[in-house]
Chains A and B, each alone.
Chain A
Amino acid sequence: MGAADHADLVRRWAVELMSGGQLDLVDELVGDTLVAGPAQTPMTEAPRRVRLYVAAYRQAFPDLVMGVDELLTREETVTLCWTCTGTHTGHFSPPDIRTFGLPPTGRAARWSGITVFWFHDGRISRLRTAQDSYGLLRQLGFVPALPSQERAA
């Protein structure tokens, strides 16, 4: 599987999985073991974890769309620059933010990030994400604006 195929996998991740909520695709896209998270540790039961991650975001934002801003391919990796939009109408338990049961706010949010994907045997074997979690939580009202932002308002 070459770079073009890897790019296609990542596009499917954004369009069909994150935006389309097609959780049955996870087994096709993700290997059994996945290196992920801030500590970049290998996780077993990777498809189950990824399904839970996607389901948590889509439950909170049923109209979630992950837009592909840039897709950069190299020999071993694909880098996805993305922007998500959604309306917070469901309870939010983001595993990456380690919080359970944030109540729905009804607010629209827009946040961006970058995810680097690695591959093995035609499936995603590792990913590393940096995203604007602070900006997301601030838009939802769960964290306060910085003093300079309050003064500007």
Chain B
Amino acid sequence: MSGRVLVVDDDESIRELVALVLEDAGYAVATARNGLEALAQVPAFEPDLVLLDLNMPVLDGWQTRARLGEDLPQLPVVFMTAGHHPPTEAARHAAAGSLPKPFDLDQLLTLVARFAA
């Protein structure tokens, strides 16, 4: 298993713990604190999947998804949401899916395997 996952979240605990869990599962992982950092990392890291928080400072998830869509429309992006956004809204923004918070470890690994295994 060698999929590459970019984890984007301004919450340090979530960002770093998700990264650790995915590394333990065999994925190559990069992290970013906001959309701007994420956009800077994508060209060099070449992720197979982006896990993207919606509510972030500097550049939020919606704007980040839009900009990724311009350059890399085929790159799967999964929104990590606070649970207020229905799946249809993720689809409307061309996200590959959504992962409402709180989520558990099995939900995370199942979803990542779908796109980055």
Contact = CB atoms under 8 A, between A and B. Distances in A.
Interface of A: 48-49, 52, 55-56, 59-60, 91, 93, 95, 98-103
Contacts of B102: 99-103
Contacts of A48: 20
A140 to B, nearest CB: 11
Nearest to A55: B13
A91 B11 contact: yes
Interface stretch (B41-49, B57-65, B69-77, B103-111): B103-111
A100 B104 contact: yes
A101 B16 CA distance: 12
Nearest to B105: A98
Nearest to B106: A98
Interface residues of B, number: 17
Contacts of A55: 12-13, 16
Contacts of A100: 14, 17-18, 101-105, 108
A116 B60 CA distance: 43
A111 to B, nearest CB: 18
Given A100-B18, A100-B108, A103-B82, A52 B103 contact: no
A55 B17 CA distance: 10
B80 to A, nearest CB: 8
B29 to A, nearest CB: 13
13 contacts: A91-B11, A91-B101, A99-B103, A99-B104, A99-B105, A100-B14, A100-B104, A101-B11, A101-B14, A101-B82, A102-B102, A103-B101, A103-B102
Interface string B77-92: 0001010000000000
A99 B101 CA distance: 9
B17 A52 contact: yes
B30 to A, nearest CB: 16
Interface string B90-104: 000000000001111
Contact of A52 (B11, B13, B82): B13
Nearest to B80: A101
